[in-house]
Structure 1
């Protein structure tokens, strides 16, 4: 299954290139629902799943991280 990382922002803030990210979440490509169940803005910033575990994707939702690991072969 293909994944991407999607940003969550503070309540009331609209996604924009200079809006600070509250938390990064893992989603399935094309979905705005994080693996932890949180609904994210369709216009939220995204990164490839390869950014997971790197400083670019911090802070990261620990629930999404756990779910993502469970879907990876060998885990």
Structure 2
């Protein structure tokens, strides 16, 4: 199954100064994170390859569930 990262913002993603609060793992093209959080349709996406690099704040619950699904 394909996965990607999707942003949760402090504010709406439509504002010019929106800051990413945390990144969630989603199944590709989904708007619901693996932890159950509903995310905004316009939220930023990143490659799942960025997971585990220590450079992004990743949802702990999503990370644990992703590990259980990954080969």
TM-score (norm 2): 0.89
Equivalent residue pairs, number: 69
Q: Who is 2:28 aligned against?
A: 29
Unaligned ranges ≥5, structure 2: none
Question: 1:22-74 deviations in whole A, cap 9, x for unaligned?
Answer: 0000001110000000000010000011110121xx2110000000000012x
Q: Who is 2:44 aligned against?
A: 45
Q: Who is 2:60 aligned against?
A: 62
TM-score (norm 1): 0.85
**Greater strand proportion:** 2
- SS across alignment from 2:33: coil
Root mean square deviation of aligned Cα: 1.2
The list of structure 1 runs, each at least 4 consecutive aligned residues, that deviate by more than 6 angstroms after superposition, is none
Unaligned ranges ≥5, structure 1: none
